[in-house]
Structure 1
Amino acid sequence: MTISNSKQAAICGAWPSPISAALVAAGASPLSQVVQDGADTYWLAGRASEGGRTTLLRQRGADVTELTPAPFNVRSRVHEYGGGALLVADGTVYILNFADNRLYVLAEGYGAVALTAESAHRYADFVLDRQRQRLVAVRESHAAGGEPVNTVCAIGFDGRETVLAEGSDFYAAPRLSPDGSQLAWISWNHPRMPWQGTELWLADVGAGGALANARLVAGGADEAICQPEWSPGGVLHFVSDRSGWWNLYRFDGTAARPLCERAAEFGAPHWSFGGSMYGFRSEHEIVCTYIENGVSRLAQLSSGSGKLQLIANPYEEIRELRVAGSVVAMLGGAPTIPLELARIDLYTGGHEVLARSITELPDAGDLSVPDSISYPTSGNRLAHAFYYPPRNARFEASPGSKPPLMVISHGGPTSMASNTLKLATQFWTSRGFAVLDVNYGGSSGFGRDYRDALKGQWGVIDVDDCVAGARHLAARGLVDAERLVIRGGSAGGLTTLCALTFHDVFKAGASYYGVSDLKGLDLDSHKFESHYNEYLIAPQPEAEMLYMLRSPINHAAQLKRPMIFFQGLDDKVVPPQQSEVMVDALRAAGVPVAYITLEGEGHGFRKADSIVRTLEAELYFYLRIFGVTSPEPLAAVAIDNLPEDA
């Protein structure tokens, strides 16, 4: 019996697709900051259609209520990356407003009432101190000029602020014991980043609220501590990578012991505040998520026996895990599931989805499911990536043709790519592009050694792994070696630029607010990342020569491949001049280049029209470079130095 193939043959990269840029933008509803307060679940959701603002939602029973209508924008600005902008306790909500950096209280029937005055202070990562009628938080003061000053402070319900801990460059995760007698927190100093080395401190809280007897519990220059939490009985727990993996530990007052030694990551890099990968079901039962080989698992851990028992669920990426008795709330995603907010009842096994980042999914026939692959790269290492083959229910490759490949280099660079369903990826695969999302050396999720592979090697190891991935797929005959492109944002933009400048593999590329000048990055960077290059490249003065060698701006004459740049004009992490100097250099060198700026956008694009504009412009750019006619109407993009017949 012969089954007819109803698909049309067409050139890969230009298949008509039902996944439009507008559909991607409509589905761009980031979910974050999950909080479980009794039976109620709270979370933050991005509103691309409302200028990218973030709003607070609550599910109570069967009802979902938006608690912060426009123009309220629930975001923190500490460390620029923010997070930790929400606390809920006994029905009272404490939130930060992005526009004025003030802390507000939401109480039933009263609306939003400002708790802090207008000032040069920013706040994040709150905990309630009921006994003393105050909040304890991380504060970042921009009042004195120069580098901001970070502290742990108390914010009284009368608005008065008191500094509790100071002297370190950075603070995170202040956590009060259940009886209010002790406060734990994490601190670290320049030049370290929090995934290199942090310190866990513990202090007694006096009757008047001041701290006493502060002592170092764990951590140091080469041990990264994250997520300290107190058990219901008042025992301090935390995550440490002292074994080479972020594992859970329990502090008995004298020493810390591991609860479950495993080659897995029970923690994640502290890019933003308020993340959570474990919580307590009872004094000796911990519900946790951990990452093995780039994929998340959900489990229950007995702190007495160390036994880890998997909990059935459909997700392969799990974050923002919150535990309240037998109820577990979390953000989860998988190759066929976009990021969603779910609750699992551990008693009944019931699974309820409260919110989805994408409300309407395309047909399954138009969705590419990735393969997790590993491949050889420089230094006898293995690199890891997710490979997405092209997929479209109505079209297939023309006979004898192969798809173009888009290699994605994630930002950070100490971050990781997940395999959660993203329409921004399916936008490309449904048009006939193959996509390789690379977890290059330096990515998290694979242990400290893999993370430290990038130490002193930024612009080398990450680039090698992207280049090796493209060559690996081309050698296997899966992609067209003459149509390889690379794209990346922020740190991934440097990877993209270096790959195009120093290697002759990719034919074009896209930089989203990418780094082009390492020295300029040092001069322009905000406090949190101002010494990051000492780890990624080298301390000064040794870094000076390496900056010259690795900054693409210094080697523009070697860059012969067409590029498109996207830049938010309000970006404080990688300012516009990082893109502008590179664009100007390419224009002067006669290389085809396009430059698109976006008003009101910062580091990462949040507005719906920005998402549509950038996706369509990038597609238009590649099709023009490859000489392919688009089957859909796309707004023309000005491309300097492009021959008229291209």
Structure 2
Amino acid sequence: MVKIASYGTWTSPIGSAEAAEAGGGLQWVDLHGASVWWAESRPAEGGRVVLVRDGVDVLPAPWNARNRVHEYGGRPWVVLSDSVVAFTNWDDQRVYVFDPAAPQPRPISPEPARHHGIRYADLTAGPDGEVWCVRETITGEARTDVRRELVALPVSGGEPRVLAASHHFMSGPKISPDGTRFAWLGWNHPQMPWDGTELCVATVGSPDFEVLAGGESEAVCQFEWEGSSLLALTDPDGWWNLFRVALDGSRENLAPCAEELGGPMWRLGNRWFASLGVGRYLVLRSGRLAVLDERSGTVTDVETDLPTWSANLAVHDGIVVDAAAGPAAEFAVVKLDLSNGELTRLTGGEHSFAPYLPVPVERMFGEVPAYVYPPSNPDFAGPADELPPFVVHVHGGPTGRALPTLDMDIAYFTSRGIGVVAVNYGGSTGYGRAFRERLREQWGVVDVDDCAAVALGLAKEGTADRARLGIRGGSAGGWTSAASMTSTDVYRGGMIAFPILDLAGWTGDGGETHDFESRYVEGLVGPLPAAAARYAERSPSNKVDKLAGPVLLLQGLEDEICPPEQADRFVAALDGSGIPHAYLTFEGEQHGFRMAASIIAALEAELSFYGQVFGFVPPGVPVLELRR
């Protein structure tokens, strides 16, 4: 029998521990012959990233296949033979070679003089028994004191060999089929890799290189060799389309379309397309699996039970492997036979919580896309005279996007009667460069306005309780949450996780962020010193007295992307202000939480926070102490 109870007070089998168990994630899926390899983060093992082959762990504890290049990391492993793999180890950031038949992995990169002083990423198999990759070297004490080169590491040991050092940022090198040339992507400050990159080609052994595609306002996000030419995802017309690029720089769009077949290069090594042979290519159309046929110039969706696929496409003999997800399914490693459409899950399966999972509804609020996750619990219904509280979920980036896939954090709230809406505000990817550049110099304005429009739209139509709207986000989402709480009166409260709060500090000169994003804000807010007043006016750290309501801040103490200094200052200004707030910090956590204990504590604190802000008592969680 369905019980009538106030929204937020419902009980659910989806506990914080169950949500934490799902908080690891699958990444870097690949094929070597017929064997499927992937990396898997394990919250129960302190967030350790394990290498897995055909469902069997390859790396024993405590080895951790992860790296710090750009602080977001890049492809951390490459298979060298049927059983031998090279990988980057988190603890010392060195590259190791491992044969499971051997007792221990063997390092092939030198030991750095300082902790994490040299990092490697985007590993590929080079010629003559080498591993080719990006090397990042810390050259000083500032967070921006970094040098990058493309290097070759002999598997047998010995000194690394520098291949190229063309740009401040580079992707891993890929050698041509005939072994005479290699190619890579490069870009310099103030560009981010979705603003503009260059596709570079050099002759092996030569310091000279040519730029074949890309530029300051054209971003190549992936390339692969095809004989003596290259295939490249690039966006000269405002959409990431697939081009064939000849060595003389001439190029052809294989299927012109106003569709995003690529994505933002937040991490090095993603793959949005893979060749199927004879003029056919597997692509991702804004996350949906599709086949591009260059003879007909068409892009046709591949219908599967799991509509959202990650940028890790790999194909062998008509078999596709990747990580895929759906509205009621978390990302799982899957194998798809293109000849008959048979989909096999290599991880995961039917979810035992299926009746309690929300089904996202894609909506447009004016020109703003969003996914609405209504409260969902078969055991409960809200009173007829009560509307549910709703929380706006703001994705990170801000050059990122929300996807209509199962998120157990969201299900944790919706199964208790709290609605969630994930907003793809102006600046989000998947809708072309023009939509992405709506945020140019408008960060803290467009994102705030778009989120508010969605929240108020839900309230106006009677879906959400206008008096009980909240906002939550981490990283850039934490910025938008904080900016919303200090510049609008839409929300009763906000959860702000590992945020940017002070724009002037979150720059290379400010010294409070890492090199990769140290000039990101120039495009998002404006160049300094001309835009200094804008930086000060928009920063939540300068508007603590304008907070519209209570806030909960969550912060990892080892975060190098959004360091704790900013949250520390924000909370120091809040203390004694009379505004209810709480601040939880987490030892051993970087940007985003990987440990089960941290995820559990953060979710339970957030639920208690909403209860106090929205006026209900959530059962089964400790009461979060709010200070003033």
- 1:422 Cα deviation from its structure 2 partner: 1.2
CA distance in 2, matches of 1:349, 1:466: 39
Residue 601 of structure 1 aligns with which residue? Answer: 589
| CA shift in 2, pair 1:121/1:471, >3 Å | same
- 2:138 corresponding residue in structure 1: 142
1:126 corresponds to which letter in structure 2? L
Q: Does residue 361 of the first structure (1) align with residue 351 of the second (2)?
A: yes
Distance 1:76 1:326 in 2: 32
Contact between 1:26 and 1:49, CA under 8 Å: does it hold in 2?
yes
The residue number in structure 2 matching 1:413 is: 398
Separation of aligned partners in 1, 2:2 and 2:411: 18
> What SS does the aligned partner of 2:119 have?
strand
State the alpha-carbon separation in 2 of the partners of residues 488 and 630 from structure 1: 21
1:373 equivalenced with 2:363 (yes/no)? yes
Distance 1:639 1:309 in 2: 53
Paired position in structure 2 for 1:185 = 184
What is the distance in 1 between the residues matched to 2:273 and 2:309? Answer: 11
The Cα of 1:18 is off from its aligned counterpart by 1.2
Matched, 1:70 2:64: no
Matched AA of 2:364? S
* 1:300-319 alpha-carbon deviations (Å, 9 max, x no partner): 22334423343221222211
Residue 638 (structure 1) aligned with residue 625 (structure 2): yes
Shift of 1:152: 1.1
Q: Which residue of 1 aligns with 2:486?
A: 501
Tell me the secondary structure at the aligned position of residue 173 of structure 2: strand
Inter-partner Cα distance in structure 1 for 2:300 and 2:183: 29
The correspondence of residues 296-375 of structure 1 with structure 2, limited to 5 A, is 296-319=287-310, 320-356=312-348, 361-375=351-365
Secondary structure at 2:52 match in 1:
strand
Q: Is the 8 A contact 2:304 2:341 kept in 1?
A: no
2:154 paired with 1:128: no
Q: In the alignment, what sits opposite 2:30?
A: 35
Deviation at 1:192, TM superposition (A): 0.7
1:582 is aligned to 570
| Mapping 1:126-525, distance limit 5 Å | 126-130=123-127, 132-146=128-142, 147-157=145-155, 158-205=157-204, 210-211=205-206, 213-231=208-226, 233-254=227-248, 255-291=250-286, 296-319=287-310, 320-356=312-348, 361-376=351-366, 382-522=367-507, 523=510, 524-525=512-513
The one-character-per-residue Cα deviations of 1:319-367 (angstroms, maximum 9, x if unpaired) are 11111221110111111221111011123432111113xx672433211
SS at the partner of 2:523?
Answer: helix
| Equivalent residue, structure 2, for 1:117 | 110
SS at match of 2:571: helix
Superimposed CA distance per residue, residues 404-442 of structure 1 (whole angstroms, 9 cap, x where no aligned partner): 001011111000111111111100110111111011000
The aligned amino acid for 2:107 is A
In structure 2, which of residues 612, 615, 620 is the aligned counterpart of residue 627 of structure 1?
Answer: 615
* 8 Å contact from structure 1 (residues 202, 216) kept in 2: yes
* Superposition pairs of residues 47-62 of structure 1, within 5 angstroms: 47-59=42-54
For 1:114, the aligned partner's letter is P
Contact 2:132–2:150 (Cα < 8 Å) also in 1: yes
- Residue 14 of structure 1 pairs with residue 6 of structure 2: no
Please say if residues 67 and 88 of structure 2, whose CA atoms lie closer than 8 Å, have aligned partners that are also in contact: yes
Amino acid at match of 1:459: G
Aligned 8 A contact 1:280 1:324 in 2: no
Q: Which runs of 5+ in 2 are unaligned?
A: none
Q: Which residue of 2 aligns with 1:3?
A: none
Equivalents in 2 of 1:195, 1:299: separation in Å? 22
Q: Does the residue aligned with 1:211 lie in a helix, a strand or coil?
A: coil
Q: How far did 1:145 drift?
A: 4.9
State the 1:584 CA deviation: 1.6
Distance 1:192 1:45, change over 3 A: same
> In the TM superposition, what is the alpha-carbon distance from 1:234 to its structure 2 partner?
4.0
Of stretches 314-323 and 383-392 in structure 1, the one that deviates more from structure 2 is 314-323
Instruction: Report the alpha carbon displacement of residue 133 of structure 1 after superposing the two structures with TM.
Output: 2.4
| Separation of aligned partners in 1, 2:301 and 2:619 | 47
For residues 140-189 of structure 1, the C-alpha deviation after alignment (integer angstroms, 9 at most, x for no partner) is: 01145551101111112223212111141100142111121111110000
Structure 1: distance between partners of 2:618 and 2:260? 44
* Structure 1: runs of 5+ lacking an equivalent: 1-5, 377-381, 642-646
Take 2:307 and 2:566, find their aligned partners in 1: how far apart are those partners? Answer: 35
CA distance in 2, matches of 1:308, 1:594: 49
- AA aligned to 1:113 is R
- In 2, the alpha carbon distance for the partners of 1:182 and 1:287 equals 25
3-state secondary structure, aligned to 1:125: strand
Among all aligned residue pairs of Structure 1 and Structure 2, give the percentage whose two residues are the same amino acid.
38
Structure 2 residue identity aligned to 1:23: E
Q: Deviations over 1:182-203 (max 9, x none)?
A: 1111000011100001111111
* Deviation of the 1:582 alpha carbon: 1.2
**What is the SS of the residue equivalent to 1:427?**
helix
CA distance in 2, matches of 1:347, 1:77: 39
Write the distance in 1 (CA, Å) between the matches of 2:206 and 2:125: 16
In the alignment, is the contact (CA less than 8 A) between 1:282 and 1:325 conserved in 2?
no
Please say if residues 150 and 162 of structure 2, whose CA atoms lie closer than 8 Å, have aligned partners that are also in contact: yes
Q: Give the partner amino acid of 1:417.
A: A
In 1, Cα distance between equivalents of 2:382 and 2:228? 61
Instruction: State the shift of 1:17 in Å.
Output: 1.1
Write the letter of the residue equivalent to 1:121: I
Note if contact 1:443-1:451 (Cα within 8 Å) is conserved in structure 2: yes
More strand by share: 1
User: Which residue does the alignment assign to 2:524?
Assistant: 536
**1:283: Cα distance to partner?**
4.7
- In the TM superposition, residue 636 of structure 1 has moved relative to its aligned partner by 2.8
CA distance, structure 2, for counterparts of residue 431 and residue 443 of structure 1? 29
- What do the CA deviations read for 1:560-615 (whole angstroms, capped 9, x no partner)? 41011001111111111111111122223210000101110010000001011000
User: Helix, strand or coil: the match of 1:384?
Assistant: strand
In 2, Cα distance between the equivalents of 1:612 and 1:631?
Answer: 15
Please report how far the alpha carbon of residue 107 of structure 1 lies from its aligned counterpart in structure 2 after TM superposition. Answer: 2.3
Q: Give the secondary-structure state (helix, strand or coil) at the position aligned to 2:282.
A: strand
1:277-296 Cα distance to aligned partner (Å, 9 max, x none): 111122522112211xxxx3
Match of 2:603 among 587, 591, 615: 615
